[in-house]
């Protein structure tokens, strides 16, 4: 009985065939190359898209900075024109004082115009540059947004010219201190007070009667007056230089830079 049970089991085992695992089909080099190419193109296109977005952002930033620079340059030009007007007033007063002193100051005093001109030469108009945009883009490293090397050079040259002018102004202020020291020894304070609030920008705010009045000086010593004239003569070269050459040059640079920025970034 037991033998009959074992036989079917042995027979069933004998009839069982082993199941072989099927191996994947072999891939040729072309399929590998296609897969690599698709992966490469996907990464490359992503890189191009990202680079394009970054480039467009930089162009947009550059255009905004260009607009801001143009506004600064236009404001600089207005400031320069106003400063030139003030310096012309001062230069005229320098010549007037020198002429009065060379003609000889009367013992009994001078006309009020001497006090007026002495007040005008007390000033050394300072150019307050509109450089906020430049400081921002240079300190933040955003000057790199301007890709045109010639344009960057123009910007650098313009602001270098500003530094040169600032140096000239500082030099004149040192010489002006000598003028002020001598002036305080010549003028009578009582008669000087009506003129002390006048500015080169408000040159007409003085009565003709006061200009033509005969006013005494605190000290009419010829040597002191001559020192006063000499101190003004030392400053005269500076005024003539900036009025005839330096300011016109920087105005021209500003104009050229404005045109270059507008052309580069299509700004109306």
175, 177, 178, 183: CA torsion to nearest 10: 130
Cα–Cα distance measured from residue 26 to residue 203, given in angstroms and rounded to the nearest whole number: 98
Looking at residue 256, what is its pLDDT? 95
146 located within any domain: yes
In a domain, 82, yes or no: yes
| Residue 24 placed within a domain | no
> Is residue 18, in this structure, part of any structural domain at all?
no
Residue 261 and residue 152: Cα distance in Å, rounded? 10
Q: How far apart are CA 93 and CA 219, in angstroms?
A: 20
Is 9 contained in some domain? no
Whether residue 245 is contained in a domain is answered as yes
Report yes or no on 210 lying in a domain. Answer: yes
| CA dist., res. 79 & res. 212, Å (int) | 33
**According to the model, what pLDDT value does residue 14 have?**
53
pLDDT at 108: 81
**Closest by CA position to 225, among listed 97, 117, 112:** 97
pLDDT averages per 10-residue partition of the chain, 268 residues: 50 52 62 69 66 64 90 95 94 96 89 95 91 86 86 91 91 94 96 92 75 93 96 93 94 95 91
Domain count of the fold of the chain: 1
Domain membership of residue 250 (yes or no) is yes
Is the whole-model pTM more than 0.95? no
For the stretch 108-136, what's the b/e string if a residue is b when 16 or more beta carbons lie within 10 angstroms of its beta carbon? Answer: ebbbbbbbbbbbbbbbbbebebbeebbee
State the residue range of the domain holding 56.
42-265
């Amino acid at each position: 009985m037991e033998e009959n049970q074992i036989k079917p089991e042995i027979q069933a085992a004998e009839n069982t065939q082993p199941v072989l695992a099927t191996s994947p089909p072999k891939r040729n080099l072309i399929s590998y190359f296609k897969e690599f190419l698709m992966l490469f193109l996907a990464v490359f296109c992503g890189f191009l898209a990202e680079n394009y977005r970054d480039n467009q952002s930089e162009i947009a930033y550059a255009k905004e900075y260009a607009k801001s620079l143009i506004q600064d340059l236009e404001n600089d030009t207005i400031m320069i024109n106003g400063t030139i007007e003030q310096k012309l007033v001062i230069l005229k007063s320098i010549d007037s004082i020198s002429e009065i002193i060379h003609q000889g100051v009367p013992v009994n005093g001078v006309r009020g115009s001497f006090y007026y001109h002495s007040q005008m030469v007390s000033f050394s108009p300072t150019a307050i540059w509109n450089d906020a945009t430049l400081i921002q883009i240079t300190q933040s490293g955003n000057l790199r947004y301007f890709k045109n090397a010639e344009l960057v050079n123009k910007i650098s040259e313009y602001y270098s010219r500003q530094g040169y002018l600032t140096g000239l102004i500082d030099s004149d202020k040192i010489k002006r201190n000598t003028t002020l020291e001598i002036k305080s020894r010549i003028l009578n304070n009582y008669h000087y007070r009506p003129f002390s609030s006048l500015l080169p920008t408000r040159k007409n705010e003085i009565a003709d009667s006061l200009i033509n009045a005969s006013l005494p000086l605190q000290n009419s010593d010829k040597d002191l007056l001559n020192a006063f004239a000499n101190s003004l003569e030392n400053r005269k070269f500076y005024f003539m230089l900036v009025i005839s050459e330096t300011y016109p040059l920087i105005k021209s640079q500003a104009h050229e830079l404005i045109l270059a920025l507008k052309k580069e970034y299509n700004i109306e």
